[in-house]
Structure 1
Amino acid sequence: MTVTSTDRRVPAAVQVARLLLVLIALSHLVVPIVMAAGEGALRDLIATQHPAFGAAEVARSADIAVVSGAVFHGVLLLVCLLLAAKLAGARPWTRRLTTVSQLLSVVFSVFSWSSSPMFHAVIPVVGILQVAVVALLWVPGPARRFFTR
């Protein structure tokens, strides 16, 4: 696939990183949907963790968690899709921004892990994909050369 004005081919590692970013973006789409669908379980969890909360406070806390999760993951979804598209342009800033965003997402997932068991099965898988994206952009020689020409 030729994608730049200088007719350079996108290395396989960068193409795989782009595909992984799309998969990661899809996970950011699924998270708020699952949270909204499981709001009852989320309320139960909040009530268990905060027994002093009344029913209204538990409901409000669950609503805040769902809305803030949707906003946060919505932003990450857009960032991942934008970066997946822009990486093919071989601009160094796209590799740096992808690296920072994916590593910060791994760090933020610690918060998700500690706040709710709802996504314990998914968080490590997505984290591995995020680290793989970074490795694919920095480790293979063809990928490094692609961003330094």
Structure 2
Amino acid sequence: MQRSAQVMALRTPTSVQAARVLLTAVAISHVVVPVLMSVNQSALRNQIATQHPDFGAGEVARSAVIAVTSGAVFHGILLALCALLVWKLATARPWTRRLATVSQLLSVVFSVVSWSSSPMFHTVIPVICAAQILTVALLWFPSTAREFFAQRS
């Protein structure tokens, strides 16, 4: 069984291997973001208080907890999806490329929400978005990637 996995890895095009590496980096970001939000809750509370001056201290604190919790759930789902894709892209099944494309492009769109809601990750969001767009490009544009996924159609 291990031998067939090694043979499959040898036939996986460089562009697909690079996409898997980028997806691994994106997956790591989905771990880091909620951890940093949790660690920096005071900064998050300050941002919420600045954006909503009519909120009392209790409401600001609850909003921060909700933001951290929802961020952890959202990024946890995306982490699991990225991990699945890193694992399954090497199988050359066309659905994996389509799922990677849709999920990564939607993540770029969702990043707009993160960008507009908090400046906490303004330096990281463009880098992650670039990695996600490059991942999609690596899965669709090189002829070796197209042939790789076409063989399982």
TM range (shorter): over 0.9
Q: Residue 128 of structure 1 aligns with which residue?
A: 130
Q: Residue 110 of structure 2 aligns with which residue?
A: 108
| 1:90 Cα offset (Å) | 0.3
TM-score by length of 1: 0.96
Aligned to 1:84, the other structure's residue is in SS state helix
Q: Residue 3 of structure 2 aligns with which residue?
A: none
Q: Which of 2, 12, 35 is matched with 2:7 structurally?
A: 2
Runs of 4+ in 1 over 4 A off after TM superposition: none
Percentage identity across paired residues of the two chains: 65
Q: Residue 26 of structure 1 aligns with which residue?
A: 28
Which one-letter code corresponds to 2:16 in the other structure? V
Q: Which has the higher helix share?
A: 2
| 1:2 Cα offset (Å) | 2.0
Q: Residue 49 of structure 2 aligns with which residue?
A: 47
TM-score by length of 2: 0.93
Which one-letter code corresponds to 1:127 in the other structure? C
* TM-superposition CA deviations, 1:88-138 (whole Å, max 9, x none): 000000000000000000000000000000000000000000000000000
Which one-letter code corresponds to 1:13 in the other structure? S
Unaligned runs of 5+ in 2: 1-5
Unaligned runs of 5+ in 1: none
Which one-letter code corresponds to 1:36 in the other structure? S
